[in-house]
Amino acid sequence: MTARQKARRPCGGQGGNRQPGRHGERSETGNETSEPHSGSIGTFMRASRTLRQIRGNAAARICCLGHYIPSFVRHAAHFGYDCIWLDLEHRNWPQRDVQAILAFAHLFDIDIMLRPGTLEKTALYRYLEDGATGLMIPHVNTPEMARELVQFVRFPPLGNRGLDGAGLDSDFMVCDEEDYLEEVNRQTFLVVQVETPEAVAGVDAIAAVEGVDGIFIGPGDLGLRLKYDPSGLTIDDAVEQVAAACRRHGKAWGMPVKSEDELRQRINQGGQLMAWGGEFSAIMEHLRQCAQGFDNSAPGRAE
């Protein structure tokens, strides 16, 4: 290890089972925090934990964050999650808050899969420049749309993303440009959401698009639309079709789940992008339990 690398080696916090780090650095358990790579970029470009699980034929652990809670990032990393699904589709985030959460994710070595509220090309790849590990795009109904997204967020020869190289993703230009270009396509990912009967019908063609790493089923939107779909398609039918398409084309797939039994069921079907846990439901459930405690202990309420 060079003097420069030693100077950049971060200090670990107390009480955690994961020490913040980049390629080749050691966690408190003695394991490397990220995949080793050769060259200067191997020291400075953060490796994706989600892609490590996918490439190892394992399930990535994903939780969801919809509000600016920096401590959530640390807690998710501490409890062994690989990725935080950051929801900007249904939540309004100031850009500085997004950038801060992305920086915390790099500090604590956990992926951010950002679901944007826009399809504008430069806005999408700026999220990657600011440090997002991956993007999850909602309502991708056609292979044509999937191919366009690849063009937006992948560098040539795979896509047509604009090059800056001065963001958090490249350690603010402390890297070799050619190594950066090679690594950034390898260490970032694009996930598209299947949320309509049209998307389910075309999922084989969507999964076949080069540059799409995974498909994520949105059971809320899909379930809403299936109520008005005359085909009789069910969520379980859709899951089977998505799983089969992803097997054929070597892509990951996943969805949110609500219980350990459902998690086990979907993993047994081949699901790898598995989302369970988030701040909204956790806060609501905790307040429900506390309110129930008040009702049990002090049932009398003044009118």
- pLDDT tens-digit map of 14-71: 333 444 444 334 344 334 444 433 333 344 679 999 999 999 999 999 999 999 999 9
* List of domains in the chain: 14-288 (3.20.20.60)
Phi-psi sector, 250: left (phi>0), alpha (psi -120 to 50), beta: left
pLDDT at 44: 62
Q: Compute the average pLDDT of residues 222-228.
A: 96
> Which letter does DSSP use for residue 17 in this model?
S
Whether 171 has a pLDDT exceeding 90, the answer reads no
Of the candidate ranges 3-7, 86-90, 144-148, the one whose mean pLDDT is the lowest: 3-7
pLDDT at 176: 78
pLDDT at 45: 78
Percentage of the chain beyond pLDDT 70 is 85
Q: Could you check whether the bond before residue 157 is cis, i.e. omega within 30 degrees of 0? A: yes
pLDDT at 260: 97
More confident: 179 or 130: 130
Mean pLDDT of the chain: 87
Query: If pLDDT is split at 50, 70 and 90, which confidence band does 178 have?
Result: confident
Percentage of the chain beyond pLDDT 90 is 77
pLDDT at 277: 97
Give per-residue pLDDT as tens, 248-290.
999 999 999 999 999 999 999 999 999 999 999 999 999 999 9
- Indicate yes or no: pTM above 0.75: yes
d(CA 293, CA 281): 18
Give yes or no for a contact between 274 and 255, defined as CB atoms under 8 angstroms apart.
Answer: yes
Query: What sign has the CA pseudo-torsion 58, 62, 19, 78?
Result: negative
